[in-house]
Amino acid sequence: NAGVTQTPKFRILKIGQSMTLQCTQDMNHNYMYWYRQDPGMGLKLIYYSVGAGITDKGEVPNGYNVSRSTTEDFPLRLELAAPSQTSVYFCASSTRLLTGGSILPDEQYFGPGTRLTVT
């Protein structure tokens, strides 16, 4: 298993340009997430998905869009890049444990990240 893969690794955008950050997982996980990590800071949730065709906003969704047409792929779209979107972007996936009739959260597997600079 390759796990969670992200492309590209690095990208420089000019203000106003658009781009799509790709994320693919091969673990058949239903749950997928996009985070951004600013220098020296923690992880902020942008969008997440609990399955194909279902997406929801996280803590900082403005300026981003997502889609989930398949279980494997969860691309993140930046329509009008702004300097405030300079960050490292991480995609993650997870599953749920079914134990004793309860559905429990489980480990999130992270991709290697995409470093984006908007100038």
Partner 1 sequence: GENVEQHPSTLSVQEGDSAVIKCTYSDSASNYFPWYKQELGKGPQLIIDIRSNVGEKKDQRIAVTLNKTAKHFSLHITETQPEDSAVYFCAASPLRDDKIIFGKGTRLHILP
Interface positions with partner 1 (CB under 8 A): 4, 31, 33, 41-43, 45, 48, 50, 56, 58, 90, 92, 104-105, 107-108, 110-113
Q: List the helix and strand counts (H, then E) for the chain.
A: 0, 11
CB of 70 to partner 1, least distance (A): 19
Considering beta carbons, is residue 3 or 16 the nearer one to partner 1? 3
The token duo for 106 is 């489980």
Count Cα atoms within 13 angstroms, Cβ side, for 32. 33
CB of 19 to partner 1, least distance (A): 20
